[in-house]
Structure 1
Amino acid sequence: MGDARISCDESAPDRETAKTAYARHIDRLNALGPRRSGNAAHRELIDDVAADLAGLGYRVERDTHTFERWDSPEHGASLAVETQAVEVSSPWPYSGETGPEGVSAPLILVSPGRRMWASAAGHIAVVEVENMEAPASLVLESWGSDLPFEAVANPVISTELAGIDLRAARSAGVVGVVAVWRGLSDHEARGQYLPFTRPHQEIPAVWVPDSEGDRLVAAARRGAQATLVLDATRHPGASMDTVWAVSPGAGPHAHETVIVVTHSDGGNAVEENGFIGLLALARDAAESSHDRTLVFVMTAGHLRIPAVTAHGQATTAWLDAHPELWDADAAGHRAVAGLVIEHLGARRQRNDSPRAGSGDDGAEPELLYATTRELDALARAVWHGAGPVRPVKPGALVHLGEGEPLFENRIPAIALVTGPASLLAETPHAGVDLDLLSRQVESFRALQRRLTAAPDRRSFGTVRTPGRVRKLIAGARVTFFLARQRSHRATRARRSRRRPRG
């Protein structure tokens, strides 16, 4: 990776040279494999990017995070019901461990929406999780135009909306949990590293694909005996580094900073490849003078948020550690804008091919945040990605991705966080649209130049975070939506049980 240098010129030959360098980066990610927080592949990528930054002349700083790492080997999870094997699509990260012998107990079905854990004491609980299609307006808002998509059906969101509380299950005496995907293809379900935002749960749990669902639910209804194996291990004293570097401004606004953020951990070559854009922007800054100071941050811990911060996304830890680079009240620099680069070149369909490709026909619709109206206008003027440019503003309940800490600290920002269904899937290879990736990097480069050169920071606008009333209204809408979904599922389940057999 260290020899893949990214050109900043915009002539056609240099664009092709840059695309070749981007392809090498993607090949490198595929060769490294999943970069779970703190594993060897994750640390190797961090060292590679640090070396690239040093090669550009930067003084590279590191913030080390030490934590207890949980890990499950590739074939460390299994499930057998009455001696018949059931496919496991993935372990539940940081759930629990059984050792190689596993845990054996009767299965019991826990009703959707009413997590009746007490009735499952001494059992392995089976729960169904629908990859539900939710209106995009539940989590996103617009700046006056249409949202980039009307609905979202993403397992990242579905696992959070499912509300499965493993710790409550453990406290009730449940010995294991099997979560059944519904409405997600088996292909997309395999390898999903979800959920990734929770502390260690102290109870083993796994995911199984939809194709196993009916058989498993029927077995749970009759209390069939099952053996669940999650031969995971815990590693105290694991570590990972957030790396960052500063390109000092050379103009009258050098005391103002523009923060460029991505993260390093991820399960495939889309999640996370944002460092490709960060290195391109860092090279641009190193080769040309700029008014404002630029700070480049590659955060570690996005897939292990509880290890680095008690609230918010992982970049919160960096902001907390370095207020002098963004908080004027700390008698240092004032951050006036930010760029957050995630999931470049994302395709709609999962593609486990070892080769990266091109072509817009398979591009996932972009999710591009602009946290002020002024930055919305700037993005519309500059951005050239996957189709029409429709920046969104954060919803009242959530700003997805590592742009969230900038938003919560009222730093105006533009953040790309496109989310295909396979985003959190650990895959041996991941297809990336290199033409799209190249256009997105060039768009970020143009945005960086605009943000560092603007004569007045007031042209970036003022971030307004949602107040209590907006959050309550948004929460009520989500609650109503989930109640309707539970009602529909319960009705379908009753009809299914009444359907004559034979």
Structure 2
Amino acid sequence: MATAAEHIARLNTLGPRRSGNEAHRTLIDEVAAELVALGYHPERDTHTFERWDVDERDVSLTVEGRTVPVASAWPYSGETGSAGVTAPLVRLAGRRPRWKDARGRIALVEVANVEVPASLLVDSWDGPMPFDAVANPVISAELAGIDLVAARAAGVVGVIAVWRGLADVEAHGQYLPFTRPYAGLPAVWAPESERERLLEAAGRGGSTTLVLDATRHDSGTMDTVWAVSPGSGIHADESVLVVTHSDGGNAVEENGFIGLLELARDAAETPHDRTLVFVLVAGHLRIPAVTAHGQATTAWLHAHPELWSPVAEGPTAVAGLVIEHLGAKHGRDDDPSTEAGTDDVEPELLDATTPEFAALVRAEWRNPAVRPVRPGAVVHLGEGEPLWEKGIPAIALVTGPASLLAETAHAGVDLDLLARQVDSFRALQRRLADAPDRAHFGTVRRPGRLRKLLAVARIAGFLARRAGR
């Protein structure tokens, strides 16, 4: 089996694994082959969907005769054809733009990379949070609330979203947002360095040409792969789910399969009481293609209750491990502001969905400084969310550097940190596979209606204060 360094190099060679593209399908096949080499008999679920794609060479922006650099295309926004669309540029302000004011025009909107208090996203089990706040373009793109479908309905012919508060090096290649349905309206992201000139051009109603020569493929496919290591003890009728996803734009998002393969190897070599199920889901970057709710793992859970559900014939899932974003460094390797040789690892974000699992993290994680958190009332970040919703106790690594969704060969991966995290997951898997009684895992307590309402109110208040600045 390849080493972690070889896997990371392979990801950089493959390039971005947009859901269902050739690089994505190649990686899925390679991971399945490694599972076979370990003695497994992997199974597959094939998802067929309409796939949207564009090459960065087919994206351009010209404003008042001047070529403006594009930070990235807006995924599944729309397409213009090779000639592009030309129209006056108009600025729309506020969280709820009056799209009708841009009828027949190209709308310019600003998206701030906001610093969000950690307490709006996650809760503490005890003591302080692992960090006070987070400024991540993934969160900012979602909180911006830009509705391209509404813009199209109002007659807008294109949208330019310009970043504010995000360095150009981080803005380049951001594949955001990745959770929305196809909109039928071409849109791109522009870097902050162009913000002032774009605002001035919009004030003049400057002629703008947007080219987004994207294509749509009716028969895009991608496979979710899973393999089972049967238990050999009295709890073989109980399962532990080990989950990651395969699509991603760089060697951090997503490299979780490295950990999944190491844990599958350990299970193949070491007898274990409970049944272990290793799941490599596809569709994390195209969630609407696989499920109407939740994350990509939701589709696998719905398709295979026999491997986790207590009301189906087969093992009942009593625990889960979710592995994402191994070895994440804070900055990209091509960021000129990062000093060579500095300790630049991103703070590890570990969700534990029961207090017993929080204690288990403190005992087994190979970094004693890590403080596990519990999911917030509104959202569980990452592919651990479906397990949380099904009441399956789980531990999930979901560290989120700013470059997480950037399509780049320069994502920062610390191989020593990656190795420590894989060792930690191996130790957790052994504990979960052989613990004498599932009662030691605790019970998932989902937030009640009042707690959810209060959390939504806090988020709304935060956004209102931001809008008032």
TM-score, normalization: structure 2?
Answer: 0.98
- 1:329 match: 311
8 Å CA contact 1:261, 1:296 repeated in 2: yes
- Counterpart of 2:183 (choices 178, 196, 201) is 201
Q: Helix, strand or coil for the counterpart of 2:462?
A: helix
- 2:80 match: 98
- The share of aligned pairs that are identical, in percent, is 71
How far off is 1:475 after superposition?
0.4
* Runs of at least 5 residues in structure 2 that lack an aligned partner in the other structure: none
2:324 aligned with 1:342: yes
CA distance in 1, matches of 2:287, 2:342: 33
CA distance in 2, matches of 1:289, 1:399: 32
- Counterpart of 2:160 (choices 178, 189, 195) is 178
Q: Which deviates more, 126-135 or 215-224?
A: 215-224
- Counterpart of 1:73 (choices 50, 55, 74) is 55
2:98 aligned with 1:116: yes
CA distance in 2, matches of 1:23, 1:199: 36
In the TM superposition, what whole-angstrom CA distance separates every residue of 1:100-155 from its partner, at most 9, and x where no partner exists?
A: 10000001100122311011111100000000001110111000121111001000
How far off is 1:431 after superposition?
2.8
In the TM superposition, what whole-angstrom CA distance separates every residue of 1:154-210 from its partner, at most 9, and x where no partner exists?
A: 000000100000000000000000000000000000000000001101000000000
- 1:234 match: 216
Query: Aligned letter for 1:134?
Result: V
- 1:351 match: 333
- 1:441 match: 422
- Counterpart of 1:361 (choices 343, 347, 365) is 343
CA distance in 2, matches of 1:334, 1:165: 40
CA distance in 2, matches of 1:158, 1:312: 19
CA distance in 2, matches of 1:431, 1:380: 26
- 2:451 match: 470
How far off is 1:467 after superposition?
1.4
In the TM superposition, what whole-angstrom CA distance separates every residue of 1:393-452 from its partner, at most 9, and x where no partner exists?
A: 000010000000000001000000100000000003333100000000000000000001
- 2:269 match: 287
TM-score, normalization: structure 1?
Answer: 0.91
* Runs of at least 5 residues in structure 1 that lack an aligned partner in the other structure: 5-20, 489-502
- 2:135 match: 153
- 1:37 match: 19
Q: Helix, strand or coil for the counterpart of 1:240?
A: strand
2:287 aligned with 1:308: no
8 Å CA contact 1:359, 1:433 repeated in 2: no
How far off is 1:332 after superposition?
2.2
Query: Aligned letter for 2:203?
Result: R
Pairs within 5 Å for 1:243-254: 243-254=225-236
- 1:493 match: none
Pairs within 5 Å for 1:319-468: 319-352=301-334, 361-385=343-367, 388-468=369-449
In the TM superposition, what whole-angstrom CA distance separates every residue of 1:307-344 from its partner, at most 9, and x where no partner exists?
A: 00010000000000000110111132110000000000
CA distance in 2, matches of 1:296, 1:428: 27
Change (3 A) 1:359 1:287: farther
2:460 aligned with 1:479: yes
Change (3 A) 1:360 1:244: farther
- Counterpart of 1:275 (choices 229, 251, 257) is 257
CA distance in 1, matches of 2:424, 2:95: 43
How far off is 1:218 after superposition?
1.1
RMSD over aligned CA atoms reads 1.1
CA distance in 1, matches of 2:377, 2:54: 36
Query: Aligned letter for 1:471?
Result: K
8 Å CA contact 2:332, 2:410 repeated in 1: no
CA distance in 2, matches of 1:431, 1:331: 44
Q: Helix, strand or coil for the counterpart of 1:184?
A: coil
In the TM superposition, what whole-angstrom CA distance separates every residue of 1:352-388 from its partner, at most 9, and x where no partner exists?
A: 49xxxx9781100011000000000000010014x61
2:175 aligned with 1:190: no
Query: Aligned letter for 1:130?
Result: A
Aligned residue pairs: how many?
465
